[in-house]
Amino acid sequence: QSALTQPPSASGSPGQSVTISCTGTSSDVGGYNYVSWYQQHPGKAPKLLIYEVSKRPSGVPDRLSGSKSGNTASLTVSGLQAEDEADYYCSSYAGSNLVVFGGGTKLTVL
């Protein structure tokens, strides 16, 4: 099972919005509404940000949002803050009893 495709890097200035894409196939992202997004700071464990494409767990600010169109899911971080600088990973249920992650995107706050 191939990994989902994410851009290796993204950047934005404080206060701006940044969107990170996650491209899969009709067998994973496009076939199911079970896409999740995780944030990982260096040396730390991942943290769940978004589940089932666009749902936010309690405690995650509403300036983070998720969406999906066809085989591509997206995470938008609005009102960028310094603490948003981290690695971001998408994942999707891929049928056939598999889960697949994206390669990760390093977000830099300029």
| β-bridge pairing 9-12 and 105-109 | parallel
106 binding other proteins? (CB under 8 A): no
Sites for other proteins among residues 10-69 (CB under 8 A): 32, 34, 36, 38, 40, 45-48, 51-52, 57
Written in H, E and C, the secondary structure of 50-80 is: EECCCECCCCCCCCEEEEEECCEEEEEECCC
Question: Residue 74 in contact with residue 66, Cβ under 8 Å?
Answer: yes
74 binding other proteins? (CB under 8 A): no
The nearer residue to other proteins, 80 or 93, going by C-beta atoms, is 93
Binding mask 76-95 for other proteins (x = CB under 8 A): -------------x-x-x--
Nearest-angstrom CA–CA distance, 58 and 73 = 21
Binding region for other proteins (CB under 8 A): 1, 3, 32, 34, 36, 38, 40, 45-48, 51-52, 57, 89, 91, 93, 97-104
